[in-house]
């Protein structure tokens, strides 16, 4: 029976596991991608930790995580609850909310860049001509990261709304009706009945949010390439630049290990959370 | 507490606001694809005064969309075939716990879904470079297969689990061997799952940027999404043309999505929550 699983497993091992193990080894070597790697101990980590940009990137990933743990999850829960209580049009709303999810990140990025943020061709430019001072967020160091996050938010909240709605529909209708008869308002219903009932789904999405927040790459790379002045750099774009522009593979590997560390921590936290809930 | 209850009108108003939010940027893309750039600058929100197709013809030739979309399609189709043939077998043995170490194998696949691309990208790239596999669509479809098949396995597993065991036992009594049982009995039953997986993997491949832009940089192998990102320089940009290219690349996907939305939504939701 192993033969059935072997093709999938061996492709995965060759493409992911072996290179991942090599990345761990590389983090302790100096390598330009072509010559022989040289063992350098912790030098890469020392260089990474001494780099100002690394700390900016790490800080940005943490900000990103905090934004995505709150804003889209709140919007998604709110929209899903509204969708749960309406009688007509649910499918239509769902389809439209999900549309941004299926659009390629590169296209979403360019649409926002040109049609919304752009001071000449975008909605921001139009508003400026009406006297509303809205600068292109991507062009300024204080706002670049948030400008990118807004794009990802647009692309993302509909996914969560649809996932949460699927979970909410599993909540027994009697529970909802009973709460309404008891006089629970909309937010009371959300807080006391619906959110506790789908807590496992919300927790899973939060863990995935932490993992995904440290993987974010496309939007940053396409919209600002980490700029201006590294203000929107994240760990994944930093590692990519280290590897393919500076050919410092050891440093890129060290940064990659930091990214993986956060994902691992989130996964372990989730598994422990599950175990504790199972015990209670 | 009546006052804190949302009335029906308010509920629909808020939901419609969400509708506008989701559709707005897409409508801007569509509207401005038909306008010459000077008109976009004066009024990005207005309807085009006439249907100007010149953006589309320029986009088609500048992003070489005929060629690059064919490249995207090639990689997408190869990946779908590769994922379906490899993931279905793995999903089957994991669902039926046919191998002793099914738990560790499942855990391994689950772990790789959360692995950052950067954790394996760099040695993979330079390894492939040494082997001469850069700018090779087949090599890229193997990378996609490794990246996306854990998701496919998790999803297909739930379909296999739903098949009653009696069915297999009956077939086994008839003396059908494992291989025939899998191909002739099990796979046809899970075909809705295979369609869902094919659609979602197809979507991921068509849209993918990081791997495609790293491994397929040669003009002749570039995918449509990568060629699209090269349309604009940082400072001078023909936004009418860029929006036209965006419409061409995204329209088939959106149409497919609207037609088969149940498959997309259930698949993406199921694969990421039931894992």
Q: What is the pLDDT of residue B274?
A: 43
What's the pLDDT tens digit per position in B3-55?
Answer: 445 688 899 999 999 999 999 999 999 999 999 888 888 888 888 888 889 99
| Chain A environment of B209 (Cβ under 8 Å) | 104-106, 218, 221-222
What's the pLDDT tens digit per position in A189-238?
Answer: 888 889 999 998 999 899 889 989 999 999 999 999 998 999 999 999 99
Report the alpha-carbon distance of residue A3 to residue A9 in Å, rounded.
10
Average model confidence (pLDDT) across chain A: 92
Q: Is the pLDDT of residue B1 over 50?
A: no
Q: Give me the mean pLDDT over the A178-186 stretch.
A: 83
Report the alpha-carbon distance of residue A214 to residue A234 in Å, rounded.
8
Q: How far is A99 from chain B (nearest CA, A)?
A: 7
CB–CB of B93 and A126 under 8 A? Answer: no
**Which is higher by pLDDT, B216 or B50?**
B216
**Does B32 touch chain A if contact means CB atoms closer than 8 Å?**
yes
Q: How far is A98 from chain B (nearest CA, A)?
A: 8
All CATH 1.10.3720.10 domain ranges of chain B, comma separated, are 61-273
| Chain B environment of A27 (Cβ under 8 Å) | none
Report the alpha-carbon distance of residue A24 to residue A261 in Å, rounded.
12
Q: What is the pLDDT of residue B255?
A: 95
Q: What is the pLDDT of residue B233?
A: 57
Q: Is the pLDDT of residue B2 over 50?
A: no
Is A109 domain-assigned?
yes
Q: Give me the mean pLDDT over the B73-78 stretch.
A: 98
Q: What is the CATH number of the domain that holds A82?
A: 1.10.3720.10
Nearest one of A275, A26, A237, A67 to A152, comparing CA atoms: A67
Is A6 domain-assigned?
no
Phi/psi of residue A37, nearest 5 degrees: -65, 145
Its domain, for residue A137, covers 12-279
| Chain A environment of B210 (Cβ under 8 Å) | 217-218, 221
| Chain A environment of B40 (Cβ under 8 Å) | 121
CB–CB of A257 and B5 under 8 A? Answer: no
CB–CB of A121 and B28 under 8 A? Answer: no
CB–CB of B99 and A255 under 8 A? Answer: no
Is A148 domain-assigned?
yes
| Chain B environment of A8 (Cβ under 8 Å) | 86-87, 89-90, 149, 153
CB–CB of B120 and A259 under 8 A? Answer: no
What's the pLDDT tens digit per position in A123-161?
Answer: 998 888 888 888 899 999 999 999 999 999 999 999 999
Q: Is the pLDDT of residue B275 over 50?
A: no
**Mapped to the 3 state alphabet, what secondary structure does chain B carry?**
CHHHCCCHHHHHHHHHHHHHHHHHHHHHHHHHHCCCHHHHHHCCCCCCCCCCCHHHHHHHHHCCHHHHHHHHHHHHHHHHHHHHHHHHHHHHHHHCCCCCCHHHHHHHHHHHHCCCCHHHHHHHHHHHHHHCCCCCHHHHHHHHHHHHHHHHHHHHHHHHHCCCHHHHHHHHHCCCCHHHHHHHHHHHHCHHHHHHHHHHHHHHHHHCCHHHHHHCCCCCCCCHHHHHHCCCCCCCCCHHHHHHHHHHHHHHHHHHHHHCHHHHHHHHHHHHHCC
How many domains would you assign to chain A? 1
Q: How far is B17 from chain A (nearest CA, A)?
A: 10
ipTM entry: 0.92
Phi/psi of residue A20, nearest 5 degrees: -65, -40
Q: How far is A102 from chain B (nearest CA, A)?
A: 7
Nearest one of B224, B243, B255, B241 to B29, comparing CA atoms: B243
Is A55 domain-assigned?
yes
Q: Is the pLDDT of residue A177 over 50?
A: yes
Report the alpha-carbon distance of residue A6 to residue B101 in Å, rounded.
13
Q: What is the pLDDT of residue B27?
A: 96
Is A23 domain-assigned?
yes
What's the pLDDT tens digit per position in A6-42?
Answer: 999 999 999 999 999 999 999 999 999 888 999 999 9
Report H helices in A189-248.
195-197, 199-213, 218-223, 235-244
CB–CB of A7 and B14 under 8 A? Answer: no
CA atoms within 13 A on the CB side of B221: 18
Q: What is the pLDDT of residue A277?
A: 67
Four-residue CA torsion sign, A97, A102, A107, A108: positive
What CATH code is assigned to B61-273? 1.10.3720.10
Map tokens 């979403």 to a residue.
Answer: A108
Report the alpha-carbon distance of residue A37 to residue A250 in Å, rounded.
9
| Chain A environment of B225 (Cβ under 8 Å) | 104, 106-107
Report the alpha-carbon distance of residue B168 to residue B150 in Å, rounded.
25
Preceding peptide of A228 cis, ω within 30°: yes
B235: confidence class by pLDDT, cuts 50, 70, 90? low
């Amino acid at each position: 029976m192993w033969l059935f699983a072997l093709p999938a497993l061996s492709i995965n091992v060759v493409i992911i596991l072996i290179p991942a193990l090599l990345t761990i080894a590389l983090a302790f070597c100096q390598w330009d991608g072509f010559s022989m790697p040289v063992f350098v101990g912790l030098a890469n980590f020392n260089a990474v930790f001494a780099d100002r940009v690394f700390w900016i990137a790490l800080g940005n990933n943490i900000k990103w995580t905090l934004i995505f743990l709150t804003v889209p999850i709140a919007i998604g829960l709110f929209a899903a609850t509204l969708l749960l209580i309406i009688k007509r049009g649910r499918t239509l709303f769902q389809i439209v909310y999900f549309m941004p999810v299926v659009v390629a990140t590169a296209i979403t990025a360019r649409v926002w860049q040109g049609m919304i943020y752009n001071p000449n061709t975008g909605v921001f430019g139009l508003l400026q001509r009406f006297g509303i001072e809205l600068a292109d967020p991507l062009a300024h160091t204080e706002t670049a990261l948030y400008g990118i996050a807004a794009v990802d938010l647009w692309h993302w909240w509909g996914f969560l709304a649809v996932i949460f709605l699927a979970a909410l529909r599993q909540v027994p209708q009697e529970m909802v009706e009973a709460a309404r008869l008891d006089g629970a308002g909309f937010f009371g219903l959300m807080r006391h009945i619906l959110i506790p009932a789908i807590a496992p789904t919300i927790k899973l999405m939060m863990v995935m949010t932490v993992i995904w927040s440290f993987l974010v790459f496309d939007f940053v790379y396409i919209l600002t390439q980490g700029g201006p002045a590294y203000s929107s750099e994240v760990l994944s774009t930093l590692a990519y630049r280290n590897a393919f522009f500076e050919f410092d593979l050891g440093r890129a590997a060290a940064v990659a290990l930091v990214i993986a560390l956060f994902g691992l921590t989130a996964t372990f936290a989730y598994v422990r959370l599950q175990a504790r809930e199972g015990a209670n | 507490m009546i006052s804190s209850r949302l009335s029906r009108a308010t509920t629909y108003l808020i939901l419609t606001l969400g509708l506008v939010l989701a559709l707005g940027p897409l409508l801007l893309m569509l509207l401005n694809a038909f306008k010459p750039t000077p008109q976009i600058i004066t009024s990005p929100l207005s309807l085009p005064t006439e249907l100007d197709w010149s953006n589309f013809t320029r986009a088609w030739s500048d992003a070489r969309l005929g060629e690059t979309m064919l490249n995207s399609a090639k990689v997408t189709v190869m990946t779908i075939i590769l994922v379906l043939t490899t993931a279905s077998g793995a999903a089957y043995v994991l669902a039926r716990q046919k191998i002793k170490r099914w738990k560790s194998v499942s855990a391994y696949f689950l772990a790789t879904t959360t692995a950052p691309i950067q954790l394996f990208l760099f040695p993979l790239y330079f390894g492939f470079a040494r082997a001469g596999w850069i700018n090779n669509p087949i090599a890229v479809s193997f990378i996609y297969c490794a990246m996306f098949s854990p998701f496919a396995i998790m999803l297909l597993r739930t379909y296999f689990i739903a098949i009653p065991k009696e069915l297999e036992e009956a077939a086994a009594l008839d003396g059908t061997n494992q291989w025939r049982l899998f191909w002739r009995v099990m796979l046809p039953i899970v075909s809705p799952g295979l369609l869902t997986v094919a659609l979602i993997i197809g979507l991921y491949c068509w849209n993918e940027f990081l791997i495609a832009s790293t491994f397929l940089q040669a003009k002749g192998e570039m995918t449509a999404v990568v060629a699209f990102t090269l349309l604009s320089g940082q400072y001078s940009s023909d936004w009418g043309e860029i929006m036209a290219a965006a419409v061409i690349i995204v329209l088939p996907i959106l149409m497919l999505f609207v037609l088969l939305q149940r498959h997309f939504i259930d698949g993406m939701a199921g694969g990421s929550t039931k894992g």
